[in-house]
Structure 1
Amino acid sequence: MKRKTLAQVVMVPMCAFLLSLPVQAADKVSIRALGGFTKQIQSTLVEQPFFEELATKHSDRLDVQFRTMDELGQKGFQALRQLKAGVFDIMEMQLGYISGEDAFFQGVDLVGVAPDVETARKVADAYREEFDSRLQKKFNGKLLAIWPYGDQVFWFKEKINGLDDFQGKKIRVFSRPMAEFVKHFGATGVSMAFPEVYTSLQRGVIDGAVTGALAGNTASWYEVANYLYPMPVGFSIQVHVANLDFWNKLDQQTRDLLTAEFQAMEDKLWQIGAEATQDGINCNTGVGDCKYGKPGNMTLISVSQEDRQRMKEAVEQAVLPEWVESATKTDEKAAAIWNETAGAAAGVTISGK
């Protein structure tokens, strides 16, 4: 059997999409945009309307062809390769999915570093310039926006009381730092795309999973998980990026237009990210106001102060050392850069670097 080339793997599923694009007038910019998974309020309330409005507000200048990962059967793990190859002009990416290609990117959202969404934004802003530089040099990309889904928490089918009960469990994660964290407490991290989690929980393929309180609610995880453990292990930072070849061909006026539009979208997404955790908890438990989600009947497991301290120790002993080891394989200055940017914003220093 012949091995498929990257071009075949990446391009073949896109043929129908790309061939369906209409021919545009020479003075119009055609944008092939890939959005995130549709079962998210960030997609339905912000991202999809954003691209629709971008096309209508600037119809004299832009023609936008927008599709989501669900529509094209994408899982997100090949996003950096697709970006570099120019499969799309603008893409949404989940950092946990792409950090396997380059651990440096995960530095913006390491488990246990930012205690709240406000600090997470400071970290993202501090890391933004280095992140963008890395994208441009290695993956032919230009950073347009960086934003969160909200606190990433644990969903379990069977009852747990705390970190001690992680022992022996299979837990869906979507980044190396998350995998290191659950491993520290005796669990096995299982890498799995978001759309596959519902069925995997339902069938017992996994015992638990990590995602946002609201993200899981909008995907109806409360139907297959009974216990919510709100130990925050990150914010599921996402980015919107442009293919650098596409970006460099634009005139300055169009670049300025897109920069301003994406900044406005980013601000909206940070606002939702700040609301998402408590609203998701309210919705999943059926207690309190439920603004964005659907009411469930899950049981909320309180996080003890002892477990919070153990989390801090796990971050220092396992998460940060593993990230440094991975990131320095491609950039020996990664830890120093992190300390000067993200670490300084969060008040955290990687020792000895």
Structure 2
Amino acid sequence: MMAAGAALLVQASGAYAADYNWRYVGVINAAHDYAKIMIEGFERVEERTDGALHIEYVSYGETPYKATDSLTLIRDGLVEMTEWIPAYNASTYPLLAGPELPFVMAELEDAAGFQEATLKAWSTPTISEYKQSIIDEHGAVSLSTQFYDPINIWFTDEVTGIEGMKGKKVRAFSPVQADFLTSAGASPVNIAAAEAYTGLQRGVIDGVITGAGAVVSFKWNEVLTSGFTTNLTLLSFDMVAAEAKLNELPDEVRAVLVEEMGNVEAEIRELMPKAYEQKIAELKEEGLTITNPSPELYGEFHRIAVEDVFPAWAEQAGPQAEEILSDFGIELN
């Protein structure tokens, strides 16, 4: 992994002008706060390299590709840079789900504390080495790691307790989320984010598992009525680039890119807790019923996860799974 160096400015000699035109394919649309930070970072790269490296931001919805295939796209040379969400590949690499298991924290954390705890889990040798091996085998390099705001559960009608979840059809995007919903009495549904709005409108689904930022950016708040601020999980994502494409860049250009993506990482990590609280406040003002779980309700969510979700995941993920759970103070019976 290349380390970010000191600030470098490629002189305005025009030596590299327009030599490298990349696309960054992101999961979120350009209206999302995170996308704006990324785009500003790409603009700084272009300015500091005198136009040598131009990176265009596009969302997966504007391409024929799927976010679940992000590392494959890098490996096959179809994109230069993209957003990789490990949770999207947890079916293929189940150990990746470990740091983002639903309700893995024993108590409800605020967003800032949740981010620190999740980052620590990703940094442990077991999971960090496993994650790096997957990135390496796809010929990719991670330039930054960030977190979306805490993932919550949202519904088209008013749901304020676990009883209200029973029978609801809810969009999930990972196997462990689906297992949790089933154990809580709901029915998990696999539906693309682009189809969720009409799905919620027409009753194909009754709810979604997602963050408040996504609710606003996808305009799902127009068809949702309530939500649990449960901190079900904290979704991480990496900005990854094709190693071969990175190596094609002149040293000075590559150093600027690495440094600026480090700046993007820091900006997004600082923004996340603040943006989360702001989005929740906005949704409350719009009239959504937001339930902050009591210790007892959160404890019930945690119990369901520990008893019904984690054992099945650990069996599938292999012997290293228990090491990851122990990092959270969880011992399976």
Query: Do both proteins adopt the same fold according to a TM-score greater than 0.5, normalized to the shorter chain?
Result: yes
Shift of 1:94: 2.5
8 Å CA contact retained: 2:16, 2:52: no
Identity of aligned residues (%): 23
Conservation of the 8 A alpha-carbon contact between 1:173 and 1:190 = yes
Hey, what does 1:19 align to over in structure 2?
A: none
Match of 1:105 in 2: 96
Q: What is the TM-score normalised by the length of structure 2?
A: 0.83
Of 116, 119, 126, the residue aligned with 2:117 is: 119
Which residue number in structure 1 is paired with residue 237 of structure 2?
A: 238
For residue 298 of structure 2, what is the aligned residue in structure 1? 308
Identify the residue that residue 211 of structure 2 maps to in structure 1: 212
Paired residues in the alignment total: 311
**Residue 137 of structure 2 corresponds to residue 138 of structure 1:** yes
2:138 is equivalent to residue 147 of structure 1: no
Residue 190 of structure 2 corresponds to residue 185 of structure 1: no
- Alpha-carbon offset, residue 201 of structure 1: 0.7
Q: CA contact under 8 A between 1:149 and 1:276: conserved in structure 2? A: no
For residues 40 and 322 of structure 1, what CA distance do their matches in structure 2 show?
A: 38
Q: How does 1:1-353 map to 2 (within 5 A)?
A: 28-38=19-29, 40-59=31-50, 61-114=52-105, 115=109, 116-126=114-124, 129-250=128-249, 253-286=252-285, 296-328=286-318, 333=320, 335-336=322-323, 338=324, 344=327, 347-351=328-332
Specify every segment of 5 or more residues in structure 2 that has no aligned partner in the other structure, as ranges.
1-14
Moved more, 73-82 or 268-277: 73-82
Work out whether residues 112 and 232 of structure 1, in 8 Å CA contact, stay in contact via their aligned partners in 2. yes
Distance 1:65 1:37 in 2: 14
Give the superposition deviation at 1:69. Answer: 1.4
Which shows bigger deviation, 232-241 or 317-326?
317-326
CA distance in 2, matches of 1:249, 1:350: 47
Q: Is the 8 A contact 1:84 1:141 kept in 2?
A: yes
Cα separation, partners in 2 of 1:240 and 1:297, compared to 1, 3 Å:
same
What is the CA-CA distance between 1:335 and the residue it aligns to? 4.3
Distance 1:212 1:318 in 2: 24
- Give a deviation string over 1:151-186, Cα, whole Å, max 9, x none: 111111122231122221111111112111111111
Q: Structure 1 residues 162 and 327, CA, compared in 2 at 3 Å: closer, same or farther? A: same
In the alignment, structure 1 segments of 5+ residues that lack a partner are 1-23, 287-295
- The alignment's C-alpha RMSD in Å is 2.7
1:58-88 deviations in whole A, cap 9, x for unaligned? 1354233432212214441222321221211
**Structure 1: which amino acid aligns with 2:329?**
V
Shift of 1:264: 1.0
Relative to the length of structure 1, the TM-score reads 0.78
- Per the alignment, residue 9 of structure 1 pairs with none
Q: Distance in 2 between matches of 1:185 and 1:81?
A: 34
| Corresponding residue SS for 1:238 | strand
